[in-house]
């Protein structure tokens, strides 16, 4: 897929509050400054890759890019579920991600249960796909160590195919 791997980072902002509360699957949301700079070749859908909060450990992740048809959003979003249990939320922290692959297009669901089931399947697929050597290599990319101290005042940094 064109544009992949895609590297980006930005401050975690408050989203709709549905991930943790309604779905039981917490997500970290990027601000408009990151979403608006996505290249045209990055289509909406579900992606997988690696994520790092601040200068912490690097974890597997899944990301939804789009309008979340089940919720009929009118604003495009980038919502990252880091596959790790954090002790507390991390609003205001810098989230660095590398999207390494595409799982599926976004779509609507007939029920909340069907949506949760699809997300759970996406998480399992991401875990498996990230075990291949070329994806593990991206976990070790210097993107996660360079600029890991990016402060809130600098806004977002976007890097593609670096």
Q: What is the pLDDT of residues 89-125, one digit of tens each?
A: 899 999 999 999 999 999 888 988 998 999 999 999 9
What pLDDT score does 161 carry? 46
What pLDDT score does 29 carry? 93
What pLDDT score does 132 carry? 95
Q: Which domain holds residue 145?
A: 6-160
Domain count, the chain: 1
Q: Which residues of 84-105 are buried (b: 16+ CB within 10 A; e: fewer)?
A: eeeeeebeeebbbbbbbbbbee
Count how many Cα atoms sit within 13 Å of the Cα of residue 96 in the half-sphere of its side chain. Answer: 24
What pLDDT score does 152 carry? 29
- We report the CATH number of the domain holding residue 118 as 2.40.30.30
Structure tokens at 80: 């990252």
What pLDDT score does 84 carry? 95
Domain for residue 155, yes or no?
yes
Residues 9-47 pLDDT 10s:
999 998 766 666 678 888 999 999 999 999 989 999 999
Domain for residue 119, yes or no?
yes
Mean pLDDT across the chain, nearest whole number? Answer: 86
Q: Indicate the pLDDT class of residue 70, thresholds 50, 70 and 90.
A: low
Q: Which residues of 25-38 are buried (b: 16+ CB within 10 A; e: fewer)?
A: bbbbbbeeebbeeb
Q: Which of 41, 79, 88, 140 is catalytic?
A: 79
- In percent, the amount of the chain with pLDDT more than 90 equals 63
Entry pTM: 0.86
Task: Answer yes or no: 113 catalytic.
Answer: no
Whether the pLDDT of residue 135 is over 70: the answer is: yes
Domain for residue 1, yes or no?
no
């Amino acid at each position: 897929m064109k544009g992949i791997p895609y590297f980006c980072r930005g401050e975690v902002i408050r989203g709709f509050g549905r991930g943790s509360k309604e779905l039981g699957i917490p997500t970290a949301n990027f601000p408009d400054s990151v979403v608006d700079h996505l290249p045209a070749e990055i289509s909406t859908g579900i992606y997988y890759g690696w994520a790092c909060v601040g200068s912490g450990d690097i974890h597997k992740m899944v990301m939804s890019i789009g309008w979340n048809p089940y919720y009929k959003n009118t604003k495009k979003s980038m919502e990252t579920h880091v596959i790790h249990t954090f002790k507390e939320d991390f609003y205001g922290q810098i989230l660095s991600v590398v999207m390494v692959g595409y799982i599926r297009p976004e779509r609507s669901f007939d029920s909340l249960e069907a949506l949760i089931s699809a997300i759970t399947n996406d998480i399992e697929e991401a875990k498996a796909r990230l075990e291949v050597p070329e994806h593990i290599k991206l976990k070790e990319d210097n993107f996660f160590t360079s600029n890991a101290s990016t402060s809130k005042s600098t806004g977002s940094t976007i890097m593609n195919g670096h």
